[in-house]
Amino acid sequence: MSKSIDLPDCYNYKPTITITPCAPTPNHSLYLSNLDDQMYHRELVNHVFLFKKSVKVDTLKSSLSRVLVDYYPLAGRLRTSSEDENKLVVDCNGEGVLFAEASMDITAEELLIPCITQHKSLKKLKCKGYTKKILDTPLLVSQVTRLRCGGMILLVSLSHILLDGIGMSQFFNDWAHLTKNPNSNLTIKPYHNRDMLKIQEPPQIKFPHPVFIKEPEHTNPEQNFLMWFVTQTVVQTSITFGANEVLRLRKQCTTSSFKYVTDFEVILAHTWRSVTKVFNLSPTRVVRICFTANFRKKLKLPKGFCGNGFVLVSAESTVKDLVNSNNLDHNIKCIQQAKSYLDDEEYIKSTIDLLKDKTVILNESIIFYASQFNKAGIENVDFGEGKPSHVGPFGSDYCCMFYPVIGDPNAVRVMLSIPKNMVDNYHRYMVEIES
């Protein structure tokens, strides 16, 4: 099936239902850290899993009810804090999550390309109860769609306020585990308490935080890259880097000053260069990217912590330094310097304190935001009939997502929306790697 062809309609043969925890759960108000309660987290994140064989729907519903006993905040609702009207809390009241079942006249093989390219008609797979409201609405919405070939596609929308990428992967794998092993318990229980991430009193902002700025009174379209994604037609791109491509990129790291360079750093450096080229900016223009940096080990967070355990760090450079070189040394140096802020745990605390101010927003000069899912284990989700033939996001326009490639543990799929008139050049810059 061509990516330009719309998917057939979904047939919802049963009404959407509410799934609640199958046993009593704690009833309390859950504190959310400033890292959880950020404006850009106030939405549901969509994940698509494509399976060649389906699992009985009643089994999925039963195991979802069971896993919600351990992940009970997901069955709650977001409320405004009684102590601070600008802050959210989770009312852990067990109201439940939404679950729908449907069918579609298509095969798993025919769905693969539309899934990889995040075709716009994938929205047909969303549960009918999906809403962009965040207060007093379900924090998890899912739909399982049976396919003509006997496979299934599962689209799950989860609250980013409650779970980061590692937490989401943990949830999916735990749900799958309890589906295959209904009489078992989880080896590592999810840890929900965020008290260790509370702000310092008084707040101590000791570091510069170029990722964030005060919300300006007037937006400068010349400086605001986000406006490109709002005002122009964008196209989802998906480019795969296998072991050979990564090796060729590594050969562009020519200096011996790097102690160690990760695949993520190499591919991110190359993507930053490629995106900057397609925008055809002034050589003296400063361009920033930001990306997630996990601090679970640094702060010794408890095993199973599934809240937002990362901060955003920012790398910046002039255009001429980014693009006027045949090697990636400068780009990688900028990225590693940004990551080095995490060597000091006071930087993490400083970020948490800064975000008490709800008027700060992502810096408008950031060209894209990158998030790494390819090391989270999300590709291992197995509900009992095998691992997925595809797993990926849907509807993540401004975010550059790094996802695993099913069947190739050494490969990475880079998924990013690009303005339609720039797609061809972007693809050319990304795939033409000089040795």
Residues 102-161 have pLDDT tens digits of: 999 999 999 999 998 888 888 888 887 767 788 889 999 999 999 999 999 999 999 999
Its pTM stands at 0.93
Phi, psi dihedral angles at 67 (to 5 degrees): -70, -25
Q: What share of the chain is helix, strand, coil (3-state, %, to 5)?
A: 30, 25, 45
CATH topology (fold) of 11-194: Chloramphenicol Acetyltransferase (3.30.559)
What is the average pLDDT value for the chain, to the nearest integer? 91
60-96 per-position pLDDT tens digit: 999 999 999 999 999 999 999 988 888 999 999 999 9
Please tell me whether residue 88 adopts helix, strand or coil conformation: strand
Alpha helices (H) in 182-257, listed in sequence order? 226-231, 243-250
Of all helices (H) and strands (E), which one includes residue 319? helix 319-323
CATH number assigned to the domain covering 212-375+395-431: 3.30.559.10
Is residue 427 over pLDDT 50?
yes
Share of the chain above pLDDT 90, in %: 72
Kindly indicate the confidence band of residue 419, based on its pLDDT and cuts at 50, 70 and 90: confident
What are the structure tokens assigned to 165, written together? 């990428």
Share of the chain above pLDDT 70, in %: 93
Cα 19 to Cα 65: distance, rounded to the nearest angstrom: 6
Q: Could you state, in order of their start, the residue ranges of all structural domains in the chain?
A: 11-194, 212-375+395-431
Q: Do 212-375+395-431 and 11-194 have the same topology in CATH?
A: yes
Sheet harboring 234-241: ordered strands across?
A: 234-241, 408-419, 399-405, 366-372, 286-294, 310-318
156-187 per-position pLDDT tens digit: 999 999 999 999 999 999 999 999 999 999 99
